[in-house]
């Protein structure tokens, strides 16, 4: 099993291949082992958005068994997501969690719209997602960013990633203990729909 920093470097290298339109032969070969009854040992947990344009395995050029992926609109963190991360950490000793947001996130944009135009037609279930993103957006609406829609969305996307990463770091006793003992690292990143690059910007050790 790789360490958290080794796994992080593997993801960065894989993303560089993806951006350069190159695939690792080992990733291609992993398809032959897709029915591995020996169990799984994912090197990283990716908590990402459900957006169809951000498939984590492709973005990081990883094959079968490398990543434990949890996807939900807006990469929000609620009890099922925390439980999924806890399961992977506890069951597989996976050392790295990446909260992966992305540019032009529709869930974050919808949250901004809901806060700027209260009373809109948002279903209770969609509101449950908006409600999770709202703390990352509401403070930004009290700054000059409110007058620059593009900049507001960009800042809100990163604020939402930080919010989710902090929730994982401090909202689970199991995860906190792993972090405190140096067995787990939680970082935040953003995927660019335009370039295909992933930038790790939160919680990454110097």
**pLDDT tens-digit readout, 94-152:** 999 999 999 999 999 999 999 998 877 778 999 999 999 999 999 999 999 999 999 99
pLDDT of residue 34: 63
pLDDT per residue as tens digits for the range 149-201: 999 999 999 999 999 999 999 999 999 999 999 999 999 999 999 999 999 99
Q: What's the rounded Cα separation, in Å, for the pair 121 and 199?
A: 34
* pLDDT, position 4: 97
Q: Is 105 helix (H, G, I), strand (E, B) or coil?
A: coil
Residue-level pLDDT at 35: 62
Higher pLDDT, 8 or 35: 8
Contact 19, 195 (CB under 8 A): yes
Q: Compute the chain's Rg from CA coordinates.
A: 17
What are the respective helix, strand and coil percentages of the chain, to the nearest 5? 55, 15, 35
DSSP string covering 93-147, please?
A: ---EEEEEEETT-HHHHHHHHHHHSTT----HHHHHHHHHHHHHHHTGGGSGGGG
Overall average pLDDT of the 9-32 stretch: 86
150 contacts: CB under 8 Å, gap ≥ 6: none
Helix (H, G, I), strand (E, B) or coil at 194: coil
Pairing mode, strands 185-191 and 198-202: antiparallel
Of the candidates 86, 13, 85, 20, the one whose C-alpha atom is nearest the C-alpha of residue 48 is 85
Give the CA count within 13 Å in the CB-facing half-sphere of 194: 3
Tell me the helices (H) and strands (E) count for the chain, helix number first: 8, 5
Q: Give the pLDDT mean for 37-54.
A: 92
- Token pair recorded at residue 14: 């894989």
Domains and CATH numbers, the chain: 4-202 (3.40.1050.10)
Q: Whole-angstrom Cα distance, residue 92 to residue 137?
A: 34
Asked if residues 83 and 60 have their Cβ atoms less than 8 Å apart, the reply is no
Question: Is a pLDDT exceeding 80 seen at residue 88?
Answer: yes
């Amino acid at each position: 099993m790789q360490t958290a920093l080794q796994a992080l470097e593997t993801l960065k290298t894989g993303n560089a291949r993806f951006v350069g339109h190159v695939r690792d032969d080992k990733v291609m070969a992993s398809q032959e082992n897709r029915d591995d009854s020996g169990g799984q040992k994912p090197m990283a947990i990716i908590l990402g958005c459900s957006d169809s344009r951000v498939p984590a395995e492709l973005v990081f050029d990883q094959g079968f068994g490398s990543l434990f992926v949890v996807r939900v609109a807006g990469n929000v963190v609620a009890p099922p997501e925390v439980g999924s991360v806890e399961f992977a950490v506890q069951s597989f000793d996976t050392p790295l969690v990446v909260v992966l947001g992305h540019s032009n996130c529709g869930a974050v944009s919808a949250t901004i719209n809901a806060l700027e135009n209260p009373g809109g037609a948002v279903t209770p279930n969609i509101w449950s997602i908006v409600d999770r993103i709202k703390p990352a957006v509401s403070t930004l609406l009290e700054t000059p960013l409110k007058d620059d829609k593009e900049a507001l969305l960009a800042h809100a996307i990163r604020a939402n990633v930080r919010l989710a990463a902090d929730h994982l770091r401090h909202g689970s006793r199991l995860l906190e203990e792993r972090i405190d003992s140096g067995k787990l690292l939680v970082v935040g990143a953003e995927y660019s729909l335009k370039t295909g690059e992933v930038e790790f910007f939160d919680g990454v050790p110097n």
